[in-house]
Amino acid sequence: MKILVATEKPFAKKAVDGIRGIVENAGYELALLEKYTDKSELLEAVADADALIVRSDKVTAEVIAAAKNLKIVVRAGAGYDNVDLAAASARGIVVMNTPGQNSNAVAELALAMMIYMSRNRFTPGTGSEIQGKTLGIHAYGNVGKLVGRKGKALGMNVVAYDPFIADEAVFEADGVKKVATVEELYKASDFLSLHIPATEQTKGSIGYDLLMSMPKGATLVNTARKEVIDEAGLVRALTEREDLKYITDIAAGNQAELDEKFGKRVFATAKKMGAETAEANINAGLAAASQIVDFLKNGNTRFQVNK
Ligand code: NAD
C-alpha cells in the first residue's frame, strides 16, 4: 500500500518524520510530493497511491480520476472544501478530516483576542481585565469547550449555548452554565466567543438584535466563520453603540468599512491564523496518518465526512 503526502505547503520535518513512522510501522510505503508547483505533478504522483494526505491542496475530480487505486483521502485539518466530495463518493473513496487537532490553537487565539481588545489593542490608556467578566460560548464543540475551560482558569464566569448537546454533564464537568436560548447567552456576555459552524441555519444569524442586547462594553470574538455574521447588522449595532467591539480571525466582507468607521473598536487578523501553530500542523499530520492506517487495517470510518 502506498500512502502519498501531497503538500504544496509542506508539513514541518517533525510531522513528516512522525507520519513516516506511523506509515512504515504499519508495513506501508510513504511517498512524498512537496512544494509542487504544477497540477501535472500531483496527477502523476497520485496515479499509484492507495491513500492520500493533503493540507489545503485541491483534490479535484481530475485528481480523483487520475488516482486509480485511491481508497481514502485525508485532509489534515478541519475544513475540507478543497476536496471534491461528490467525485470521491462516486468512486467509493472515503474522505476524512482531522477534527479537534487544531482546537487548542484556535482557543488560545480567542482568549488572546479578548485580552487584546480589553487592553486597547496594546496601545496606551486604561484597559480592563477579563477576570470576573462573563464569557459566553456560542457552540460548545471542540474549540468552544477549550475556550470555556481556559476562561474558567482565568477567573471568568462562563456560560454556554449549544442546542445539540443535551447532556448537562458536559457543561457541568467544566463548571460552565448552560443557557437555554441564544438571546439569554448574548444578554449575559461581556465577551462572546463564536464557535458555530457556517450552516444554512447559522449563516447571517449573528446581527443587530443579538449585539444590541449585550452588556455595556461587550466584545464579540469571531474565530468561526465570517458567513455567520450579518455584516449590515454589525455596522448598525457598532454605530448605535459606541461601547461595543468586534474582533475576528476571518476578515468581514466589509472589513475596510468597519476599520474606517470604528477604528480601534474593531480588528481583523491579516490572514486567518487560528490554526496556524506548529503544534496544530504536526497534530493534524499525525492524526491523518493514524486515521489512514486505522481505516486500511480495521475499516474505521469515524472521521469520514462523505458518509
Ligand atoms: P465542532 O464541530 O467541534 O463544534 C461545533 C459545535 O457547534 C457543535 O458542538 C455543534 O453542536 C454546535 N452547533 C452547530 N450548529 C449550531 C447552532 N445552530 N447553534 C449553536 N450551536 C451549534 O467544531 P469546532 O472544531 O469547535 O470548530 C468551530 C468553528 O470554528 C467552525 O466554524 C470552524 O470552521 C471554525 N474553525 C476556525 C479555525 C480558524 O482558523 N479560525 C480553525 C478551526 C475551526
**87 residue type, one letter:** A
| Closest residue by CA, ligand 1 atom 16 | 196
Q: pLDDT tens across 173-227, in order?
A: 999 999 999 999 999 999 999 999 989 999 999 999 999 999 999 999 999 999 9
Q: What lines the ligand 1 site, CB under 6 Å?
A: 78-79, 99, 102-103, 106, 139-144, 162-165, 195-197, 199, 201-202, 223-225, 249, 272, 274-275
Q: DSSP H helical segments within 46-165, as ranges? A: 61-66, 85-90, 103-118, 142-153
Q: What is the largest CA-CA distance in the chain?
A: 63
d(CA 49, CA 92): 15
Mutation probe of ligand 1 site: the residue of 81, 161, 162 with most atoms within 8 A of C-beta? 162
**pTM, whole model, 2 decimals?**
0.88
Q: pLDDT tens across 165-184, in order?
A: 999 999 999 999 999 999 99
| Closest residue by CA, ligand 1 atom 6 | 141
Please tell me the distance between residue 198's alpha carbon and the centre of ligand 1 in angstroms: 8
- Tell me the average pLDDT of the chain: 97
Please tell me the distance between residue 134's alpha carbon and the centre of ligand 1 in angstroms: 20
d(CA 197, CA 219): 20
Contact partners, residue 281, CB within 8 Å, separation at least 6: 11, 12, 15, 76
d(CA 85, CA 93): 9
Confidence category of residue 81, pLDDT binned at 50, 70, 90: confident
> Which atom of ligand 1 is nearest the CA belonging to 103?
25
Q: pLDDT value at position 235?
A: 98
d(CA 265, CA 118): 10
Mutation probe of ligand 1 site: the residue of 56, 82, 106, 249 with most atoms within 8 A of C-beta? 106
Confidence category of residue 79, pLDDT binned at 50, 70, 90: confident
DSSP helix/strand/coil, 108: helix
Please tell me the distance between residue 227's alpha carbon and the centre of ligand 1 in angstroms: 13
Confidence category of residue 149, pLDDT binned at 50, 70, 90: very high
Contact partners, residue 31, CB within 8 Å, separation at least 6: 2, 3, 4, 5, 45, 49
Label the pairing between strands 219-222 and 177-178.
unpaired
d(CA 138, CA 55): 27
Confidence category of residue 78, pLDDT binned at 50, 70, 90: confident
Please tell me the distance between residue 56's alpha carbon and the centre of ligand 1 in angstroms: 19
